[in-house]
């Protein structure tokens, strides 16, 4: 939605939607991160051509309401994010009907 960056959300279900389990394990892993947003720029619509925040800003906050259903925080520098906790939880199995 906002170009190539590191995406985070305070909404765990949003993060869960982007998790991938390639090992067929019953567990799903999410990282709880510390994110340095600095001076954030609020956006309400998609902007896939973004490669960095606008001049004078350090990050982008995707605000829900128009194009977004959930919050997103996007940083464009790897040193702006640090994992704090690894959260493991059982993935519900899909019902066979």
CATH code of the region 6-90: 3.90.228.10
Question: Could you tell me the two tokens for 83?
Answer: 């994992």
**Beta-bridge partner residues of 74:** 7, 60
Instruction: State the DSSP code for 65.
Output: T
**pLDDT truncated to tens, each residue of the chain (97 aa)?**
888 999 999 988 888 888 877 888 888 899 999 999 999 999 988 888 888 999 999 999 999 888 888 899 999 999 999 999 999 998 776 544 4
Q: What is residue 25's predicted lDDT score, i.e. its pLDDT? A: 85
**What 3-state class would DSSP assign to 1?**
coil
Question: Could you tell me the two tokens for 60?
Answer: 């982008």
Beta carbons of 17 and 68 less than 8 angstroms apart: no
Query: How far is 2 from 72, CA to CA, in rounded Å?
Result: 10
Query: How far is 70 from 91, CA to CA, in rounded Å?
Result: 21
Q: What is residue 93's predicted lDDT score, i.e. its pLDDT? A: 63
Going from N- to C-terminal start, the domains of the chain cover: 6-90
């Amino acid at each position: 939605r906002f170009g190539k960056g590191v995406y985070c959300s305070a909404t765990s279900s949003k993060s869960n939607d982007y998790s991938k389990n390639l090992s067929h394990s019953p567990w799903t892993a999410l990282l709880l991160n510390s994110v340095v947003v600095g001076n954030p720029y609020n956006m309400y619509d998609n902007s896939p051509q973004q490669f960095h925040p606008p001049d004078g800003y350090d990050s982008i906050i995707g605000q829900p309401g128009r194009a977004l259903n959930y919050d997103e925080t996007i940083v464009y520098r790897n040193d702006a994010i640090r994992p704090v906790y690894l959260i493991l939880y059982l993935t519900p199995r899909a019902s066979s009907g």
